[in-house]
Homo-oligomer: A and B are copies of this chain.
Amino acid sequence: MVRQLEETPLTLQGLADQVSMLAGNTDVFYTLFCGAAIFLMQCGFAMLCAGSIRQKNVKNIMLKNMLDACGGALGYWAVGFGVAYEGGAFIGTSGDRFFLNNYSGGGSYIDFFFQFTFAATAATIVAGTVAERCKMVAYLCYSLFLTGFVYPVVVHAIWNSAGFLSAFNESPRGGVGMIDFAGSGVVHMTGGATALIAAIILGPRIGRFYDEDGNPLDKPYDFPAHSVALQVLGTFILWFGWYGFNPGSTLSISPDGYGDIAALCAVTTTLSAAAGAVSSMFTDTLVGFLSEGEVEYDLTMCMNGCLGGLVGITAGCSVVEPWAAIIIGVISGIVYVFSSKLLVMLKIDDAVDAIPVHFFNGIWGCLATGLLASPRHTAMSYGATNCGLFYSNGQLILNEVFGILFIAGWVGAVMTPFFYGLNMLGMFRVDPLEEKVGLDISHHKGAAYDLSAPDAGDVEVFQSKHGKDGFADSA
Residue in B22, B37, B100, B322 whose beta carbon sits within 8 Å of that of A23 in the complex: B22
Q: Is the CB of B450 within 8 A of A471?
A: no
A47 sits at the interface (CB 8 A):
yes
Q: Is the CB of B229 within 8 A of A43?
A: no
Q: Apart from A67-B302, A73-B274, A74-B275, what 13 extra A-B contacts exist at CB < 8 Å? A: A1-B168, A2-B382, A15-B16, A40-B240, A42-B236, A43-B232, A59-B228, A67-B278, A113-B263, A136-B297, A295-B443, A299-B444, A437-B454
A224 sits at the interface (CB 8 A):
yes
A50 sits at the interface (CB 8 A):
yes
**How many identical subunits does the complex contain?**
3
Q: A63-B299, A306-B66 are in contact. Are A326 and B228 (CB under 8 A)?
A: no
Which residues of B sit under 8 angstroms from A79, Cβ to Cβ?
none
Q: How far is the CB of A14 from chain B (nearest CB, A)?
A: 9
Alpha-carbon gap, A173 to B148, bound state (A): 44
Residue in B109, B266, B294 whose beta carbon sits within 8 Å of that of A466 in the complex: B294
Which residues in chain A, 392-445, are within 8 Å of chain B measured between CB atoms? 433-434, 436-438, 441-445
A151 sits at the interface (CB 8 A):
no
Which residues of B sit under 8 angstroms from A270, Cβ to Cβ?
39, 73, 113, 116
B-facing mask of A60-87, CB < 8 A → 1, else 0? 0011011101111110010000000000
B-facing mask of A437-475, CB < 8 A → 1, else 0? 110011111111111111100110110011000011111
Q: A167-B1, A254-B25, A442-B462 are in contact. Are A263 and B110 (CB under 8 A)?
A: yes
Q: Is the CB of B438 within 8 A of A302?
A: no
Alpha-carbon gap, A411 to B62, bound state (A): 37
Q: A70-B306, A263-B32, A278-B71 are in contact. Are A459 and B437 (CB under 8 A)?
A: yes
Alpha-carbon gap, A257 to B17, bound state (A): 13
Q: Is the CB of A74 within 8 A of B294?
A: no
Q: A259-B28, A263-B28, A450-B225 are in contact. Are A233 and B43 (CB under 8 A)?
A: yes
Q: Is the CB of A229 within 8 A of B232?
A: no
Alpha-carbon gap, A168 to B110, bound state (A): 26
Q: Which of A13, A27, A40 has the most CB of B within 10 A?
A: A40
B-facing mask of A305-325, CB < 8 A → 1, else 0? 010000000000010001100
Q: Is the CB of A109 within 8 A of B55?
A: no
Q: A47-B233, A67-B302, A253-B26 are in contact. Are A322 and B227 (CB under 8 A)?
A: no
Q: A36-B243, A261-B2 are in contact. Are A229 and B228 (CB under 8 A)?
A: no
Which residues of B sit under 8 angstroms from A10, Cβ to Cβ?
12-13, 16
A211 sits at the interface (CB 8 A):
no
A21 sits at the interface (CB 8 A):
yes
Closest 3 A/B residue pairs (Cβ): A43-B236, A224-B473, A28-B259
B-facing mask of A250-273, CB < 8 A → 1, else 0? 110111111111111011001101
Alpha-carbon gap, A168 to B122, bound state (A): 43
Which residues in chain A, 349-401, are within 8 Å of chain B measured between CB atoms? 381-383
Q: Which of A168, A277, A437 has the most CB of B within 10 A?
A: A437
A239 sits at the interface (CB 8 A):
yes
Q: Which of A73, A259, A298, A323 has the most CB of B within 10 A?
A: A259
Which residues of B sit under 8 angstroms from A445, Cβ to Cβ?
296, 298, 471, 473
A152 sits at the interface (CB 8 A):
no
Q: How far is the CB of A83 from chain B (nearest CB, A)?
A: 17
B-facing mask of A116-152, CB < 8 A → 1, else 0? 1000000000000000000010000000000000000
A sample of 29 cross-chain residue pairs with beta-carbon separation below 8 angstroms, ordered by A number, consists of A10-B12, A12-B15, A24-B259, A25-B26, A27-B259, A28-B253, A33-B243, A39-B270, A40-B236, A43-B233, A47-B229, A51-B229, A63-B302, A66-B235, A66-B303, A67-B302, A69-B274, A74-B278, A74-B326, A77-B322, A109-B266, A116-B270, A226-B449, A296-B445, A298-B444, A437-B455, A438-B454, A441-B459, A450-B473
